Amino acid sequence: MRMRDEEEASRAQRLSSKRRVTLQDFRGKTLLSIREYYMKDGKELPSSKGISLTVEQWEAFRNAVPAIEAAIKKLEGSD
């Protein structure tokens, strides 16, 4: 594995066969992207389906996770 490939792999987490979370620097800002990927010519490429969050947006999302989890449990319990 090339050094660049290793660096990219260390900043990516696979969520499923088609979805992945990546960290990247874009115009001097760190972005966390949750994106769908597709195969083309034997390479996995990012699609336009996804979202990119700034660090501040990620922190707000992370802080909201307990309330989101509670809402999920409530919805699942109301079957």
Per-residue pLDDT tens over the stretch 23-60: 999 999 999 999 999 999 999 999 999 999 999 999 99
Quick check: is 79 in a domain? no
Q: Which domain holds residue 18?
A: 1-54
pTM, rounded to two decimals: 0.74
* Contact predicate 25/7, CB 8 Å: no
Quick check: is 72 in a domain? no
* pLDDT interval class at 11 (50, 70, 90): confident
Quick check: is 30 in a domain? yes
| Tokens of residue 77, six digits | 């319990």
CB atoms within 10 A of CB 37: 20
Quick check: is 68 in a domain? no
